[in-house]
Structure 1
Amino acid sequence: MKLKKVLLKLISLSTHLIFHQQTRKNNLNLSFFIARRYFFSGKKRNFINIISLISMGIVMICTASLIVVLSVFNGLEDLLRSIYTAFDPQIKIEATKGKSFDVSDPFLEEIKSIEGVALITEVIEDYAYVRYREANMVVTIKGVSDNFIDQKRIDNAIVAGELKLKKDNVNYAIIGRGVQYALSIAPGNDMYPLQVHYTKDVKPGQLDVSKLYSRKNILPGSVFAIEKNYDENYIFVPLDFAQDLLEYGNKRTSLEIKLEEGADLIDVQEKLQATLGDGFAVLNNDQQHADLYKLLNMEKLFVFMSFSFILGVGSINIFFSLSMLAIEKKKDISVLYSLGATNKLIKNIFLAEGAIISLGGAVLGMFLGGAICWLQQNFGLISMGMETAVLENYPVKMQVLDFFYTAISLIIITLIISYRPAIIATRYGNVQYL
């Protein structure tokens, strides 16, 4: 009997040493192997397995929702860029102080000499009161030089009439569709001109009413439809018409630049800024709407944080399932300790178990979210729900960074959720079953 006990102790000691050496070499692989056996055990499906599957399902749904919502924000951002690109120039030059600035031929020639500049459109923009037959409203008059048509920014946005500013020495206006509806304008009808009134700076003691405002008539030539905010407020007119009506003389409110094909926008922008100095703001398309894009990105960030918080709350089930698993596997943990397992190995097993549940749900969720976005892009599952919407269906655009940040947040959540149960599991190493 004594010899038998000695042999058993020698066998136990040798097994302990061998296991200890193997776990030192393959700690991570062994952790995932045991964790995978716990999760995919086919012998029985107890309450803990069900909780683990429910946790994986919650993570999958939250991940898919996050991917879809972030993709919708990306699609909306791209939609806004496409709208603003159709209306706004590639580069816009404005005065940093004041509403307008003087423009001369040498000044324009200096800008034209910069490599990459193809066209310079002079702009005078201000509010005016317009009247058509019995209807009237306040609009934004945008006087543009003749080469505005050559920029080809609104060619595809014309929905009625002929795109023109002048023809046979006759001035024509390009009006927004919202303005057309408000004033009941019939483009091409030369019998009724559009009356444009501009209120002058009123001086104290001025009694002559005719000197309080200027007035000019112009024929509506065409109608554009880009976006509601533009369609309901803007009217394009020839530059000399606006110059006479608003009495701007050589002053301009902005210059709009079109670049040559293949020119580098950032490079041309930097050269323009260096040439013009600090008295002018040289803005690309994104900078012209910097506040809007900043707000959109902030909303996207808050949505990401909110869904990450929901994901964290949903992952609490992982904490409970791992805690119960640690209690259920007390005997297995003690056996592993008796074979030479370390606290690090036990912790890694339960961290790996949490990773299988969380990252498994994340992978399924990313696949599901990506599939929903793909279906929306190609088949339009959900429409905007408005006949006057710019697009028929909600725009979506998947970005790799969204998937990456979602995965990073899940890894952090998994480590936080799984760490406490892993620590609890190491407390069951004192019970001996030999």
Structure 2
Amino acid sequence: MNFPLYIAKRYLVAKSSKNAINIITVIASFGVIVGTLALFIILSGFSGFRLFTNSMLQSSDPDIKISAVKGKSFLYTDQVSQILKEQPEILASTQVVEERVFLQYKERDHISYIKGVGTNYTDVTRVDSTLSVGQWLDPDFLNSAVIGYGISEKLSMGVLSFGEPLYIRVPKPGTNYITSQRAAFNEVSAQIVGVYSGLEEFANKYVFVDLSLARKLLNYSENQLTAIEVKIKEGVDPENFAEKLQSQLGSSLKVETRIQFNALTYQVLNTESLISYLVFTLIIMIALFNVIGAIIMMIIDKKENLKTLFSLGVTLKEIKRIFVFQGFLLTLFGLSVGLFLGISLVLLQKQFSFFMITTSIPYPVAFNFYNVFLVAITILILGYLAARIASSSISKNFIES
């Protein structure tokens, strides 16, 4: 039998003769429970946001993007076409023309990006699944457009506003004098047939139009484009495939995975998650001072018992271990209850969506065992250190005095 552990269990479950010590112990347990619960929910929330962001990016962005290293555009040559056709990992690919433009609708102006896409664009991304109003581009109607929800709000325009088209303008290249707006800009008009939603940056960024309309606006040739977007087959590693494709396409083109061209988004998510973890760990450390206080009060309360144990031959090291075990068990109890409550709340949120970001989007959470492990390790280590600190106050002079 582990004697210090046995005594620690007895001390933990037995009520003290002094009511204040019982109250302090309850407060210490409550602090560990709340700290565990908060840390687990925060980590689960960030895990949910990461999955939610990944889902949104999968809808809006391709698996692989090929763009020019120098300049904005490049030519879709037979060589590039042949290289892409020879890749068994590619499920679909599409040509894209993207440029910053001026938008005008009635008396309102906005600066955004036009994105000309081919008819098979929805084979590469699931952007059509993000439509909140209207429909996706119809190749039979050249002068149509799909805009982001944020752009729609800023321009106060809806779907099929036939009374007034959306004017899309881009500055003409050259160095001649500007004598009129017509001389300064290339212009096309489009009717809005759909509005898409998604992450804030995405919903405020694009006006999707037919590829030929974008080329007409920018005076591009038939094989000129700004990017090739690629969807790869299930199970293919994007990074390995990107490296392989890069070596075949050469140094004039840049091949990036979704994670690479959204690096900032992922960095922000990871940084926020780390900072939140550190902040809540600091809060838990402060809460564990209650555990230290509870153990010290218990040591003082059990001083006569400790003197008896010491007289019976129990070593000072074993006496200290009694209270290390007691603090550890107190922390373990708080951890167990906190994790039970946290896991229950996360699963209930996933199932019933009690908390909503908007009327249609529930607050994203995700349950995974990594978060359980991280919380458990954090709480147990801090609890053990707190118990060690408290038990270090025991000395031979203290017991014999």
TM-based fold match above 0.5:
yes
Render the CA deviation track for 1:156-190: whole Å, top value 9, x for unaligned. 2234444234117x443222334345445564566
1 CA distance for matches of 2:348 and 2:180? Answer: 66
Per the alignment, residue 158 of structure 1 pairs with 131
Going from structure 1 to structure 2, the CA distance change for 1:164 and 1:346 (only over 3 Å counts) comes to same
Q: Does 1:58 align with 2:31?
A: yes
Render the CA deviation track for 1:205-257: whole Å, top value 9, x for unaligned. 45576442212233433332334433343211122211121123344222110
Per the alignment, residue 365 of structure 2 pairs with 396
2 CA distance for matches of 1:421 and 1:176? Answer: 59
Q: Indicate conservation of the 8 Å contact 1:330/1:428, yes or no.
A: no
Residues 344-355 of structure 1 aligned to structure 2 (within 5 Å): 344-355=317-328
Match of 1:372 among 345, 370, 375: 345
1 CA distance for matches of 2:311 and 2:374? Answer: 41
1 CA distance for matches of 2:185 and 2:19? Answer: 85
Match of 2:241 among 258, 268, 278: 268
Render the CA deviation track for 1:288-337: whole Å, top value 9, x for unaligned. 22112211211111111111111111111221222222223233223333
Unaligned runs of 5+ in 2: none
Match of 1:197 among 158, 169, 194: 169
Residues 41-52 of structure 1 aligned to structure 2 (within 5 Å): 41-42=14-15, 44=17, 46-52=19-25
2 CA distance for matches of 1:133 and 1:205? Answer: 27
2 CA distance for matches of 1:308 and 1:297? Answer: 16
Going from structure 1 to structure 2, the CA distance change for 1:137 and 1:319 (only over 3 Å counts) comes to closer
**SS of residue in 2 equivalent to 1:336:** helix
Q: Does 1:343 align with 2:320?
A: no
Going from structure 1 to structure 2, the CA distance change for 1:399 and 1:149 (only over 3 Å counts) comes to closer
Query: Which residue identity does 1:82 align to in structure 2?
Result: S
Larger CA deviation: 317-326 vs 38-47:
38-47
Residues 27-426 of structure 1 aligned to structure 2 (within 5 Å): 29-42=2-15, 44=17, 46-133=19-106, 135-151=108-124, 153-167=126-140, 170-183=142-155, 185=157, 187-188=159-160, 192-203=164-175, 205=177, 207=179, 210-249=182-221, 250-384=223-357, 386-387=358-359, 391=361, 393-426=362-395
**SS of residue in 2 equivalent to 1:67:** helix
Going from structure 1 to structure 2, the CA distance change for 1:422 and 1:138 (only over 3 Å counts) comes to closer
2 CA distance for matches of 1:221 and 1:43? Answer: 74
| Runs of 4 or more consecutive aligned structure 1 residues displaced over 6 Å after TM superposition | none
Render the CA deviation track for 1:47-85: whole Å, top value 9, x for unaligned. 323211210111101111111122111112221221121
Larger CA deviation: 173-182 vs 354-363:
173-182
2 CA distance for matches of 1:409 and 1:192? Answer: 60
**Superposition deviation, residue 375 in structure 1:** 1.9
**SS of residue in 2 equivalent to 1:414:** helix
1 CA distance for matches of 2:104 and 2:392? Answer: 78
2 CA distance for matches of 1:50 and 1:180? Answer: 58
2 CA distance for matches of 1:346 and 1:86? Answer: 61
Query: Which residue identity does 1:255 align to in structure 2?
Result: I
Q: Indicate conservation of the 8 Å contact 1:333/1:425, yes or no.
A: no
Query: Which residue identity does 2:197 align to in structure 1?
Result: A
Query: Which residue identity does 1:368 align to in structure 2?
Result: L
Render the CA deviation track for 1:122-171: whole Å, top value 9, x for unaligned. 11111122334554433310011222133351232234444234117x44
Q: Percent identity?
A: 30
Q: Aligned pairs, how many?
A: 400
Query: Which residue identity does 1:237 align to in structure 2?
Result: V
Larger CA deviation: 119-128 vs 159-168:
159-168
**SS of residue in 2 equivalent to 1:126:** strand
Structure whose CA Rg is larger:
1
Q: Indicate conservation of the 8 Å contact 1:112/1:120, yes or no.
A: no
**Superposition deviation, residue 119 in structure 1:** 1.6
Render the CA deviation track for 1:259-296: whole Å, top value 9, x for unaligned. 23444434422322332345443322222221122112
Going from structure 1 to structure 2, the CA distance change for 1:109 and 1:309 (only over 3 Å counts) comes to same
**Superposition deviation, residue 117 in structure 1:** 0.7
**SS of residue in 1 equivalent to 2:350:** helix
TM-score by length of 1: 0.83
1 CA distance for matches of 2:19 and 2:106? Answer: 80
Going from structure 1 to structure 2, the CA distance change for 1:329 and 1:126 (only over 3 Å counts) comes to same
**SS of residue in 2 equivalent to 1:166:** coil
**SS of residue in 1 equivalent to 2:394:** helix
Q: Indicate conservation of the 8 Å contact 1:62/1:307, yes or no.
A: yes
Going from structure 1 to structure 2, the CA distance change for 1:155 and 1:63 (only over 3 Å counts) comes to same
2 CA distance for matches of 1:159 and 1:410? Answer: 44
Q: Indicate conservation of the 8 Å contact 1:176/1:234, yes or no.
A: yes
